[in-house]
Structure 1
Amino acid sequence: MDYLPIAVALIATASSIAIYYYLFTRAKKPCPPNLPPGSLGLPVIGQSLALLRAMRGDGGGRWIRERIDRYGPVSKLSLFGTPTVLMAGPAANKFMFFNSALSTRQPPSVQRILGKNSILDLHGADHRRVRGALLEFLKPDMLKMYVGRIDGEVRRHLEENWAGRATVTVLPLMKRLTFDIISALLFGLERGAARDSLAGDFVRMIEGMWAIPVNLPFTAFSRSLKASGRARRVLEGITREKKARQLEHGHGKASSNNDLITCLLSLTDGHGDQLLTDEEIVDNAMVTLIAGHDTSSILMAFMVRQLANDPVTLAAMVQEHEEIAKNKADGEALTWEDLTKMKFTWRVAQETLRIVPPVFGNFRRALEDIEFDGYFIPKGWQVFWTAKVTHMDASIFHEPAKFDPSRFENQTVSTTPPCSFVAFGGGPRICPGIEFSRIETLVTMHHLVRQFRWKLCCKENTFVRDPMPSPLHGLPIEIEHIASP
């Protein structure tokens, strides 16, 4: 269902009130000094619809570039009802990622669905506390113990959903694969009815996360809220069960059998009290479910799309993975040491993320009056950054439209300025799940390129954003099974 007409109607209604207020009050408010160039447009509407329309056809990057060409790398506009400053370039990215006067800001719909205690909306000491707790589970020393289990999930997925098929649709399958991996490793939820039910609610939850937050029966947001409530009850139940088990057997450090929730429950502060509340654990488990699902599944789908028409890159990947496989017994699971040898495959992944970053951009909110590049940014204004600006800058990445994994082979500060490649963000809020995503991607691609060859079903090789990128029709492909695992 297309909610754009509903969005237009709601925004138009709000605008009629806002315009009246704007016209009769603007003269009373002094204009802040030295604001960036640009226009805020009409109240409430601003440039929101123009940007959303551009993003639907993957024209968001071009829309941003045209704005930069017109106003420069720093300009003001209005997005989603809030005065906003668009900032572009490595220096601007660094300013946003490392400035303590800027906090993250999620749309109201995201906060209501994921919870008020999620790491996405925390700032200062609370953010550091929750992030530190998550990193206890997501650090490499813990993750390397799960490579074998991820390997098992991938093998089972390919056997059940790819083998024996003439065609498959890649993106939905990759999303289910990453969901299954997260369910098992992060929540300890094994295969069965409970996991299948959670998967269905998860899909419905995602559909309304970036919708207009109007809780009416016919809206995507309403369906998403209900699905979020059901998913939250499942995670609350898992948390209670694991907490009771810990109390029964005594607290202990996380072991190789622990999942994320067990790990978080075992962490204590300096007084011996549980570091995170049960509500914080559930809220951040919801965030981890979303974050660990979308980035990896989208990355792998677009790698499949690239390899379909790039025989040179595919051949190099196959050679890398066959070298690893020939030193292993049949059916033997991959190890952390095997992943360290997949350097070319990860460069292919990085180049895919450069050209098609899963996250188009994000917002920060000014906690106080700040200044950048001589321009004044008032307290309460949004600051908006986009990955595509630096990713497709020819002065940073030579021939940016060309797919060239070698550009990540010997990156140095002299060739690539800091905060130029920002597929995972940067600074204190850089995605804590980078290593988890890397493991999922490398293990999946190892088995995929050794077992299958494929070609695209759609001649038109395009994608849209809503707001995450999605290949046309979910990327249907014709597949041929070429080898046993």
Structure 2
Amino acid sequence: MDLYTLVTSALCTLVLPLLLLCTAVKLWEVYCLSRRDSSCNWPLPPGTMGLPFFGETLQMVLQRRKFLQYKRRKYGYIYKTHLFGTPTVRIMGTDNVRQILLGEHKLVSVHWPASVRTILGSGCLSNLHNSQHKNMKKVIMQAFSREALENYVPIMEEEMQRAMNLWLQSGSCLLVYPAVKRLMFRIAMRILLGFELEQMDPALEQPLVEAFEEMIRNLFSLPIDVPFSGLYRGLRARNIIHAKIEENIKEKLQREPDGSCKDALQLLIDHSRLSGEPVNLQSLKESATELLFGGHGTTASAATSLITFLGLHKGIVQKVRQELDSKGLLSNNPEERKDLTIDLLQQLTYTGCVLKETLRLSPPVPGGFRVALKTFVLNGYQIPKGWNVIYSIADTHDVAEIFTNKDEFDPDRFLTPLPEDSSRFGFIPFGGGVRSCVGKEFAKILLKIFIVHLCRNCDWELLNGPPTMKTGPIVYPADNLPTKFIPFNSTA
């Protein structure tokens, strides 16, 4: 074979596919840009649309924070991309977020990616709209009333004391993130779904935790349901969870309604009975799965971040303990300390500031998903009808002008009330507007109690120092936060 033939063969083998790929990418870009609203004179936001069909989903899933940080540096507070099969505009910043959150039902509507809608199901609160969303939210909110929260406090304390006793017996190293996930999972199972975990075989609890982890890991994936795909694995894990929840629902259906304080799942069952319609078992399973996701995944992330920041700032731990001591809550001896109540928790001002600062620097949920109901203009750019809109919580906190020295962990910044309008849209760990987190008061109480028990029972050391944080889809430490726990003696 002569040299000419070799060169020609090499060109055909290497160059031609590359040219075809470049052509396909260019045609894809032209196609995506053709979906702009020609009746609107404002330009589309800057940005790129990635590969044909896949868009930039693979980069986002694989790189997460690195990908998002690169986009923000290059394009600023608003840019276009193509994620999970749909043209998308990602936004951040107080003014941009204000327009999106106040535009619910007028400019935008909640619209999670297809994989999320498929795995969680159409019957859960996050995927409902209008009157259906309003009615179900009203029912679920009963489970987060002040009276209900007061009844939950002893259960939260019991589970936390149990968990921390095990942590203190763990020896030289405990992987914090898996341990905290298990703690929060147990609390959510007992309080939100009414599971009697004492009657559950411990051998059955761990597979349920693992199934939930698998489901969450694949919640945001390409909408391709084929063997070994993310969506396929997520649905298989979801089915394991549904089977266990169905058993619980059937047990609850056999009980007669009473006037006692009820878990969220029982309230949904009672509501179904009162409507006079047949109980929709699938809808109840979807709602229960969503409650577990919201009730344990996000709180586990926040609790792990609390251990991280407090472990790196021992002086702040001392200030928390001083506040606990002033309220009669520091002693390890139950006979010497006051009982925790909602009123007493609300008096823990500095502890509350520690929680807020943790949620500012490390919000568990990165952002919220919407879809444009009509073409509108945002910060000088058109957002075409039908495009997805993602508002970023973490980036909005990072660029909010109300915060100075943004990289520092400084709970004192929250001792002075923030300007109401700026903080309403510049500090949004629970989202905002009519779609703000339904369980945010539950989460605040739970995490405050966690801080109390952590600082009252434990001293700890982060064995690897400050962790690298990842998102998948909830924020977590890449190394699972190996930590050494030792007992704290309040009388020492």
TM-score range, shorter chain: 0.7 to 0.9
SS in 1 for 2:224: coil
Aligned partner of 1:305 in structure 2 is 308
Change (3 A) 1:24 1:154: closer
Distance 1:53 1:200 in 2: 21
Aligned partner of 2:323 in structure 1 is 320
**Structure 2 unmatched ranges of 5 or more:** 1-19
Aligned partner of 1:37 in structure 2 is 45
Q: Does structure 1 conserve the Cα–Cα contact (< 8 Å) formed by 2:330 and 2:456?
A: no
Change (3 A) 1:476 1:14: farther
Q: Does structure 2 conserve the Cα–Cα contact (< 8 Å) formed by 1:61 and 1:389?
A: no
Query: Residues 359-385 of structure 1, C-alpha deviation per residue, up to 9 Å, x if partnerless?
Result: 122221012233334533221111121
Q: Does structure 2 conserve the Cα–Cα contact (< 8 Å) formed by 1:264 and 1:281?
A: yes
Q: CA deviation at 1:425?
A: 0.2
Distance 1:24 1:415 in 2: 40
| Residue correspondence of structure 1 range 300-379 to structure 2 within 5 A | 300-323=303-326, 324-325=328-329, 329=335, 334-379=340-385
AA partner of residue 292 (structure 2): L
Distance 2:37 2:400 in 1: 40
Distance 2:276 2:23 in 1: 52
Query: Residues 200-233 of structure 1, C-alpha deviation per residue, up to 9 Å, x if partnerless?
Result: 3222222221233433443443332122112112
Aligned partner of 1:282 in structure 2 is 285
Aligned partner of 2:87 in structure 1 is 83
Query: Residues 24-57 of structure 1, C-alpha deviation per residue, up to 9 Å, x if partnerless?
Result: 89889974531333144344344444444542xx
Residue of 201, 211, 215 corresponding to 2:221: 211
Aligned partner of 1:296 in structure 2 is 299
Distance 2:416 2:316 in 1: 18
Aligned partner of 2:443 in structure 1 is 437
Change (3 A) 1:31 1:169: same
SS in 1 for 2:221: coil
Change (3 A) 1:37 1:227: closer
Distance 2:21 2:266 in 1: 46
Q: Does structure 1 conserve the Cα–Cα contact (< 8 Å) formed by 2:458 and 2:487?
A: yes
Q: CA deviation at 1:427?
A: 0.4
Aligned partner of 2:476 in structure 1 is 470
Q: Does structure 1 conserve the Cα–Cα contact (< 8 Å) formed by 2:308 and 2:466?
A: no
Distance 2:161 2:215 in 1: 28
AA partner of residue 476 (structure 1): P
AA partner of residue 41 (structure 1): M
Aligned partner of 1:173 in structure 2 is 179
2:137 is aligned with 1:134: no
Change (3 A) 1:61 1:24: closer
2:168 is aligned with 1:162: yes
2:415 is aligned with 1:405: no
Distance 1:312 1:21 in 2: 54
Distance 1:430 1:460 in 2: 30
Residue of 189, 199, 224 corresponding to 2:195: 189
Change (3 A) 1:19 1:273: farther
Distance 2:489 2:383 in 1: 58
Aligned partner of 1:59 in structure 2 is 66
Q: Which moved more, 1:342-351 or 1:370-379?
A: 370-379
Aligned residues: 461
Change (3 A) 1:289 1:152: same
Aligned partner of 1:241 in structure 2 is 251
SS in 1 for 2:254: helix
Query: Residues 93-115 of structure 1, C-alpha deviation per residue, up to 9 Å, x if partnerless?
Result: 12211211311122222222211
Q: Does structure 1 conserve the Cα–Cα contact (< 8 Å) formed by 2:32 and 2:49?
A: no
Q: CA deviation at 1:82?
A: 1.7
Residue of 432, 435, 442 corresponding to 1:426: 432
Q: CA deviation at 1:182?
A: 0.8
Change (3 A) 1:144 1:276: farther
Aligned partner of 1:8 in structure 2 is none
2:112 is aligned with 1:106: yes
Q: CA deviation at 1:358?
A: 1.3
Please report the RMSD computed on the Cα atoms of aligned residues, expressed in angstroms: 3.1
**Structure 1 unmatched ranges of 5 or more:** 1-12
Q: CA deviation at 1:266?
A: 2.1
Distance 1:291 1:220 in 2: 20
Query: Residues 148-172 of structure 1, C-alpha deviation per residue, up to 9 Å, x if partnerless?
Result: 1111111111123433533211111
Distance 2:431 2:264 in 1: 23
Q: Does structure 2 conserve the Cα–Cα contact (< 8 Å) formed by 1:61 and 1:388?
A: no
Q: CA deviation at 1:412?
A: 3.3
TM-score, scaled to structure 2: 0.84
Change (3 A) 1:199 1:332: farther
Distance 1:211 1:25 in 2: 21
Q: Does structure 1 conserve the Cα–Cα contact (< 8 Å) formed by 2:184 and 2:300?
A: yes
Q: Does structure 2 conserve the Cα–Cα contact (< 8 Å) formed by 1:178 and 1:440?
A: no
Q: Whose Rg is larger? A: 2
AA partner of residue 428 (structure 1): V
Identity %: 26
